[in-house]
Structure 1
């Protein structure tokens, strides 16, 4: 066991500011995007949006703090944030108009703090200015364009409550940028060369645009505009550093600022040369993308792989020593945490407080040789998470058969110190599955990364939309689908009909009839969900192109086509299934209680569920304790989980769109198992209405009683290689289990065995129920307690109580 070195004073100062975050909303981006949209109202969106990006980036405030070595801010304040009214800012307009949630405090700012933990402020002048933009954006948003019409019958499906955790359609509150941008291309090629490629094509075809040439011209025009936007923004940061240097009296800092200024000027157009430039250019490209759109989950990808060559050269030539390099990595991940945006608290309750979804992938194999490619930066990333006690970004460690024990040990120690990080991903399953399921080349499959919660994607060559177009359409409430199957197509939570009329449980004379009803209902409703996504895709191509993103993704510049229109080398989309173990356990309960043991009639079980088990407690206890549950290495329940997952996968294989022939199945979720649980009626497994569903591929809370090996065995009954949208398996480990060297080795070997059985992923929560209960009573004493929810980690005391209780309710495992 090693203790991380202390951080430098300036990193510690920045870390504390980030930890105490208060997001100050400002109007700068709103002002520039509104002025630009009004000025260019009749310009096609593929050009109008990059025009707005240029206006925003060339005029934005560029801050440089005294303690910063990596710069880039999404608002006018250090932890400030603009807004994206062209997508949807209606929640903020509504709250400000209501007035009850925002209170003026002594500092002269409006403050908003609620149970979600999102602490936001707003200056009175910004509030007044913001309200003046409301009328313009009321019917000019991308969201409103998609909401004006939808395929016939879709409203009925939405009202049923099976396609989203929110009410109403709201098809596009966010962009569909859920992927790994081409950071490596930005670092190696630079904006100047990308711009030249686009400008050269336009010059060669000036006055001679035939057929598809016009579409290509519009795309290349958009590319020139966003490259100019990036160059202007980065040059302005260089000027800000120079201005800071001129006023600086500390000679060492002055020299540092001057070097930063020179390097920023260089990377504004040219390829990077050093490790610092690589880290800084990555952050600033991320910033460019944020200025373009409200992208929800722009992952950093294989950070250790694309930055290590520059650090290796710096170390060899004496420009940096390891401690200096570690400080840069620390600064990089702290700056990443500054990109958390003002968010609708209802959405934040699902996606997490302070979660940027800058998922970072480390380790794995070399794309060309297939050999283990872990390097010193791999270890530095884990050190930063440990030193800084960060819950974000999520870190995925790619494991292969040659991963060194030293890296395993570092990862497990990080897991012990920072609960739930890193996630462990199995190269030996994922790489061949990418080739088989999605037709990736061997090299590109070896170069995969993880985004968002768990989605598996290509690095800088893939437009995957793994969580559905614009986020929400890919979210299916599988518990409600089961209830519709047992209740003749009616959701008992809201009384809405819209599913197939598959009959009532009490009329089903065999378990095969129950399964047939579920399959019919699932096939029908899931294809409706994909239909809505396909509609969103059609609208995206017209109203939401992503030029700043497209310039870095392999295939787009070559084809002259935006990523939203199929320009990327690889194209896919997909969704995520949460609560499948609840479905499997419910089917096991029906089979056991009604058909096998005949403990009750189908009518009695139906009545018990429909009455939320009120008056049926004895039967509920039988369902909870007598029925076999998934996660205990018992084929009775595990085979049903496999069947449910296969139904889902097989349906996904039948789905496709104009842009993509691949619709991927995923078994993960941010905290959807809790949020969807709020809106899901009681289920036959004994679960009460409104309580959490099972999380992803994990057993239902507390139902696994035979230890982690049994959970692994149950989970491996599912063919993980089919689920190329990603898999999440959460296991909670008591901290005492990792206090000895022997126990940490046992965890490593247990994980290896699981991976040898073709398990794809696992993430460990190393925290005791006693500690979490103590944190509920005295949160100020546990300020840095990090836990893994499902698709993200969080500071425990920033979680709403239902989510805290959900983590506490999970089985607490020991390692033998």
Structure 2
């Protein structure tokens, strides 16, 4: 299709004028959405059953489009478009574009966060070599069951009722306007399907499908959904218009619709899978690999029997539509339908990476404790978002916008405040290592140094929400987040019940194993001094292989070794407590840590110096809560025992990667299932399971053209192996493959 740069620039100018013309933030957002949505919606695809796709413009409104949020602006794309047509437009048009550029460079919401942060800390953003912060509103999970139960007209009635109860306000007016935008999108797709039906070359099957698509949109525009297909389409068009990228407990949301359709002979399993497959393909097209969660199973569902029937179809769909998204996730609990676990492991044995499995037996009590809520509320609402951070579905926020690399932080402590990889000062007033007479002295210095970045990052997380709330009401999120409409306030303007944030920790086990090695070799066995150890690290162990072997042979997490595991627990508890303390200095409900990791364990390892655990400079860091590369030597049971020693209430999300030999799961299915279930029922949190041979990964690196569909689990997301950077491929190759149980 011919690209029209002038058309995109005209739209950017129109969006800017709309934004500038309305001072009220709620009405401004509604008017901007009314302009944005019809412009960016894409036509019905030739094979679509579930319809809707959006291509954003150079400027717009979104929770996290392209990594930016609220009112975003992409200057490089504007410049590129203008340069392509500069010779075809007059000077007055160019001047309009230049004025728009100058306006948005200061007015985009991320720029405002940065400016506000500078006012407090006199630097552009909370960032250092070992910690960072970004701007976005990510991972939102709204109450989609409310959407499909009420439909657009039911939501309109709720708005009218609450407006009458609380008094008219522009907030309620804007909510009504935002529903008009979705209804208009339904009308557009209804009319488009109607027009496509006039094509005389259509086959009978496509005629039937387009008729169904037309009828679905015609109905949901003015009525609550009656059928599974109508409900699924309403969810998707709402997600498209709002940039919603995580879908929560869809078996609970859609289970009754599917069950009713089966009872009324309106649908069978194969037809349902066909429509779910189209839903999957719509998610794949958006290509948000760190998001796109669908949750099945778990406690707290209204009708588990109905929900489970649909959950099994989700598992089957993930087996047939093999891709990196959606991230299908099973919540395990004692007494659940065994077929769900069996089908999950059958998928993994067949080479899929979904479903991911979480344990309600562990997570529900930990969420109760960390949130201070009842078991009923925790069971009903907790879901993992994006890479695995927990959020309270339909009543919370938990944007993961900050992170800290613990292994790099330890390097800074060992080098008197300098990052040895770049030789840049990161922390002032640090002691020389010769002054740390005991292990406790060293750990105390490490802990105290982490206090400042934790406070900075907490403030940044608060600011991220605060500025978003000042700029907009986030109408689509607020519509389906409880307490917002009841209070008459947007989700980030005081409407959200649980306004939380999360910080990612990288290299947790690398840091823990390093501290264990220091304690064991320096302070306990006195094989060498800490000063001598730092000299070895700076030499990347060249000339110190004997000493490196002593460090490598020190106790390691992942082997059910109490000494190593206790330090790992201590490191996690320490960084958790520091984040909690930082969060208490803000208006956040909670500021939690997660250890879910994505490709960062390999990417950050590439720029991290040698570490005391024996790891050389540039090698991967540990991923999530999984053992360091090569650190687990006592088998799967020992690794699982180490994993379950953490206090699950000290975090809101961890990743445990387990890769089986490609034949092991098939040959020892019952044994592995029993072992995993014991883990889930005894303080085990989560597993990312895969069944891929190391030889497959090696061959994929040599002959990538033969392995285009090899999907691998990285940490908090999955990817096609051949599309990963060599750094990440190498890290995956080095991970332990479980050869026997």
2:716 and 2:82 map into 1 onto residues whose CA distance is 33
1:717 and 1:528 map into 2 onto residues whose CA distance is 30
Aligned to 2:614: 686
Contact 1:364 1:427 in 2 (8 A): yes
| 1:639-650 matched pairs, under 5 angstroms | 639-650=566-577
Q: Which moved more, 1:501-510 or 1:66-75?
A: 501-510
What's the TM-score, normalizing by structure 2? Answer: 0.90
| 1:164-563 matched pairs, under 5 angstroms | 164=132, 171-172=134-135, 175-199=136-160, 217-248=169-200, 249-290=202-243, 298-340=245-287, 355=289, 357-367=291-301, 374-447=307-380, 448-465=382-399, 467=400, 471=401, 474-563=402-491
CA separation of 1:28 and 1:730: change in aligned 2, threshold 3 A: farther
Aligned counterpart for 1:37 among listed residues 11, 16, 32:
16
CA shift for structure 1 position 637: 1.0
- Residue 536 of structure 2 corresponds to residue 589 of structure 1: no
CA shift for structure 1 position 372: 7.0
Aligned counterpart for 1:152 among listed residues 89, 100, 120:
120
Deviations 1:185-231 (A, max 9, x none): 111112233234335555788xxxxxxx7xx8232232122111111
CA separation of 1:230 and 1:475: change in aligned 2, threshold 3 A: same
Deviations 1:281-313 (A, max 9, x none): 1111110112xxxx6xx3111111211111111
Aligned counterpart for 1:786 among listed residues 687, 707, 711:
711
Q: Which runs of 5+ in 2 are unaligned?
A: 85-95
- Residue 656 of structure 2 corresponds to residue 701 of structure 1: no
Aligned counterpart for 1:756 among listed residues 681, 685, 699:
681
The answer to which structure has the higher helix fraction is 2
CA separation of 1:485 and 1:97: change in aligned 2, threshold 3 A: farther
Aligned to 2:720: 795
CA separation of 1:809 and 1:25: change in aligned 2, threshold 3 A: farther
Contact 2:621 2:628 in 1 (8 A): yes
2:470 and 2:45 map into 1 onto residues whose CA distance is 40
CA separation of 1:647 and 1:229: change in aligned 2, threshold 3 A: same
CA shift for structure 1 position 133: 6.5
Contact 1:476 1:529 in 2 (8 A): no
2:213 and 2:179 map into 1 onto residues whose CA distance is 21
- Residue 693 of structure 2 corresponds to residue 768 of structure 1: yes
Aligned to 1:123: none
Contact 1:585 1:685 in 2 (8 A): yes
- Residue 78 of structure 2 corresponds to residue 67 of structure 1: no
Q: CA RMSD in A?
A: 3.0
Contact 1:37 1:48 in 2 (8 A): no
1:265 and 1:485 map into 2 onto residues whose CA distance is 63
2:351 and 2:587 map into 1 onto residues whose CA distance is 40
CA shift for structure 1 position 54: 1.1
1:779 and 1:488 map into 2 onto residues whose CA distance is 45
Give secondary structure in 2 for the equivalent of 1:499: coil
| 1:91-110 matched pairs, under 5 angstroms | 92=77
Give secondary structure in 1 for the equivalent of 2:20: coil
CA separation of 1:677 and 1:235: change in aligned 2, threshold 3 A: same
CA separation of 1:315 and 1:201: change in aligned 2, threshold 3 A: closer
Give secondary structure in 1 for the equivalent of 2:123: helix
Give secondary structure in 2 for the equivalent of 1:575: strand
Aligned to 2:36: 56
CA shift for structure 1 position 329: 1.1
2:121 and 2:497 map into 1 onto residues whose CA distance is 34
- Number of equivalences: 718
What's the TM-score, normalizing by structure 1? Answer: 0.82
- Residue 565 of structure 2 corresponds to residue 638 of structure 1: yes
Aligned to 2:87: none
Q: Which moved more, 1:432-441 or 1:503-512?
A: 432-441
CA separation of 1:606 and 1:544: change in aligned 2, threshold 3 A: farther
1:717 and 1:757 map into 2 onto residues whose CA distance is 10
